[in-house]
Amino acid sequence: MNRPTLAHGLVAMAGLAVWLFLVASPLAITAAVTADHWAMAGRVYAPQTLHSLIARSIGLAVAVAFGAVVLGYIPGRVLATADRGRTWLLWLMLVPILWPQYVTCYAWSLLLGPTAPLGWLVASQSADENQVVRAAVACFVQVLWCWPLAALIIARGRQCVRSDTPGIQAAGQQGRMPTLAAICRPLGQSVAVAFAVCFVLALCQYDAFSIAGVRTYGTELVAIYKATGSTESVARASWPLVAVAVAMAIVLRRRTWLIDATCHTADAHSTVSRIQWAALATVLILSLAVPVMLLLMGICKGDLPGSSCRPDRAGLVNALAAAVLAAGLALSMAAAAVVLERSGRWAAIVSRLMQVSLIAAAFIPGALVGVALLEAAPAAPSMVWLMDRWPAVAFGQAVRFAGLAVLLFLVARSQIDRGRLATPCDDPVGTDDFPQRRPWWPVVWRASASVLLLVAALSVVELSATMLLRPPGAPHSTQWLFSLMQRHPDGLASVSCLLLMVATLPVSGLVALLWRSPRP
C-alpha cells in the first residue's frame, strides 16, 4: 500500500465533502422525515393492486434478465477469448449501453404504428392484448440494452478460468474434480451476477416501460410524486427497491473475482467458432442496425413539424452543462471512495459506506434520487438556491452514475496491483519519488477519462431524475425529446433520436480505445 500523499488527501477530502452533501445528508434527512411521517403517508395502493404491481414488475424483470444473459453469453465468451478485434467488439458493446432506452423503445415502437408493417396486428387486438404487445416490446428493448452489461460480466468470469491462472494450476495438481470446480465456480458466479444486475436494473426501470405505457414499480414512483407531490409517499413506496439495490451493491463489492488482481487476462486465446461469430453478429444487428433502420423509416414516412417544435438551444446548453458538472462530481466521489479504502482503519469504514451507497444509487430508480435531494433541500439555504437552478439536475445525475465510476476505479486499482505483483519492486512501501512510481499513472488517467466520458454521456440522456429535478421554466433537451416522442411521432422525433444515436459513437469509441490493452 502506498503512503498517503497530499494529493490523496485533497482528493479524499473533496470527494468526501461532495458525498456528504449529495448522498449522506439527503439519505439521512429522507430516512428521518419518512420515519416521522410514516403513518401520515398512508397506504399508497390497495393490497391487491400492490401485489399485482409487484408480481408484474418481478415477472418482467426476470424475463429481461434471462434474455440478457442468454444474448450476452456468447458475446462475453468472444470478448474474453478472441485474439483480435476486441477493441472493436468493446466499442460495439458500449454503443447500445449509451443509447437511451426510451429512444430504442421509440424506434421499435414504430413497427406498431398505424401505417407500420405490424400496425394492423395491434389495431385488431383488444386493449389488454395491445398492452401485452407493448410490454413485450419494452422487455425486448431492455434486453437489447442489458445484454452488453451481461456480456462484460461474463467475459470477466471467463477470463478467470484460463488454464494458466494460478487457481486453475493449483486445482489441477489435486485432481479432476477440483479442476472442474475451479473452472465452473467463477463462470457460474459471473452468470449469476450478470442475471442479478440485469434483474435489479429492469426492476427499477422507468424509461422503456413509461414509453410503452406499462405500469411497473419503477414507473409508479414518478406517478405517485406527480399525483400527490409527497416525497414521504414516494420514499415509503420505494423501500423494497432500496433494499434490493443495497444488497446488489454489497454483492458487487464483495465479488472479488470482478476486481481481483490475481485473476488476470492471459495471453493464450481459445478459438472462436463461426457459429459464435454469427450469433454475435445477429445480436449486434438487432441492437444497432435495426433501430437505425426503423428510425430512417420513420423519417421517410413522417412529416417534420413547424418551428414551434424545434429544440431550444438553451435546453441543449443546460443539458450539456449539467452533464459536465455531473461527471466531475461523480469522479470526485468515486475517487475518494477508492482512495480512502487504503488510508487507515476508520477511513476504510467510510470508504465502504461510500462505495455501497454510490453503487446502490446506480440501481435505485432515478425518481427516488430526485426525491431525496428535494427532501434535503430545505435543510440548507444554499441547497435551496441550487435546487432552483440547472445544477439541481447535475446533482441527481452525479448520484445516479457515481457507482459506475466506483466500479471502474476498482478495476483500475486491480490493474495497478496486478502490475506490482508481476513486477515486484525493491520499495514496496511506496516511499520512492513520484517519477519512479509513474507506471500507475496511465491506468489512473485512462480510468478518469473513461469515467468523465461515460458519466457525461449517460447524464445527457438521463430521464427519470431529470424530470423531477428540472426547475420550472428551465428547458432541458431530454425533457423536450421525451415530450416530442409523445406529441409528434415520426418526423422530427426520429431525426432527433437518430442524431442522438450518432453522437454516442465517438464517445463509446474513445472509451474502448482507453481500455484497448492490458495495463500494468
pLDDT in tens, 384-393: 777 777 788 9
Closest by Cα among 138, 190, 196, 132 to 161: 190
Is 153 within 8 Å of 190 (Cβ atoms)?
A: yes
Cα–Cα separations (whole angstroms), residue 456 to 295, 329, 395, 401, 505? 24, 11, 12, 9, 14
pLDDT in tens, 280-295: 899 999 999 999 998 8
Is 375 within 8 Å of 30 (Cβ atoms)?
A: yes
Structural domain includes residue 212: yes
Classify 43 as helix, strand or coil: coil
User: Which pLDDT score, from 0 to 100, does residue 262 have?
Assistant: 46
Classify 430 as helix, strand or coil: coil
pLDDT in tens, 381-435: 777 777 777 788 999 999 999 999 998 888 888 777 766 544 444 333 333 343 3
Cell numbers 416530442 correspond to what residue?
484
pLDDT in tens, 315-354: 888 889 999 999 999 999 999 999 888 777 888 899 899 9
- The DSSP letter of residue 423 is S
Structural domain includes residue 519: no
Give the distance from CA 189 to its chain's centroid. Answer: 20
Query: Does the pLDDT value for residue 303 go beyond 80?
Result: no
> Rounded CA gap, 223 and 467, in Å?
11
C-alpha cell read off for 485? 416522442
For residue 43, count other CB atoms closer than 10 A to its CB: 10
User: Which pLDDT score, from 0 to 100, does residue 424 have?
Assistant: 44
Query: Does the pLDDT value for residue 150 go beyond 60?
Result: yes
Structural domain includes residue 215: yes
Query: Does the pLDDT value for residue 506 go beyond 70?
Result: yes
Which residues constitute the domain of residue 500?
A: 6-25+48-296+310-514
User: Which pLDDT score, from 0 to 100, does residue 174 have?
Assistant: 52
Is 249 within 8 Å of 352 (Cβ atoms)?
A: no
Cα–Cα separations (whole angstroms), residue 487 to 83, 99, 148, 481, 482? 48, 21, 31, 10, 9
Judged by average pLDDT, the poorest of 103-112, 276-285, 314-323, 498-507 is: 103-112
pLDDT in tens, 9-42: 788 888 899 999 888 888 888 777 776 655 544 5
Phi/psi for 71 (5° steps) reads -70, -30
Classify 229 as helix, strand or coil: coil
Is 238 within 8 Å of 364 (Cβ atoms)?
A: yes
> Rounded CA gap, 9 and 255, in Å?
28
C-alpha cell read off for 328? 466531475
Considering only residues 217 and 116, tell me which one the structure prediction assigns the higher pLDDT.
217
Is 104 within 8 Å of 147 (Cβ atoms)?
A: no
Is 452 within 8 Å of 514 (Cβ atoms)?
A: no
pLDDT in tens, 39-71: 544 555 555 666 777 888 888 899 999 999 999
User: Which pLDDT score, from 0 to 100, does residue 163 have?
Assistant: 45
User: Which pLDDT score, from 0 to 100, does residue 429 have?
Assistant: 36
- Report how many domains make up the chain: 1
User: Which pLDDT score, from 0 to 100, does residue 452 have?
Assistant: 94
DSSP string, 364-418: S-HHHHHHHHHHHGGG-HHHHHHHTSTHHHHHHHHHHHHHHHHHHHHHHHHHHHH
C-alpha cell read off for 101? 432506452
C-alpha cell read off for 520? 500494468
Structural domain includes residue 108: yes
Structural domain includes residue 43: no
User: Which pLDDT score, from 0 to 100, does residue 359 have?
Assistant: 92
User: Which pLDDT score, from 0 to 100, does residue 176 have?
Assistant: 55
Please give the single-letter amino acid code of residue 174. Answer: Q
Structural domain includes residue 34: no
User: What is the H or E stretch that residue 239 is in?
Assistant: helix 239-254
pLDDT in tens, 458-502: 999 888 888 888 888 777 888 888 877 776 666 778 888 888 889
Structural domain includes residue 198: yes
Is 34 within 8 Å of 235 (Cβ atoms)?
A: yes
User: What is the H or E stretch that residue 291 is in?
Assistant: helix 290-301
Structural domain includes residue 74: yes
pLDDT in tens, 207-249: 778 777 788 877 777 777 777 766 677 777 777 888 888 888 8
Is 95 within 8 Å of 283 (Cβ atoms)?
A: no
pLDDT band at 170 (very low <50, low <70, confident <90, very high): low
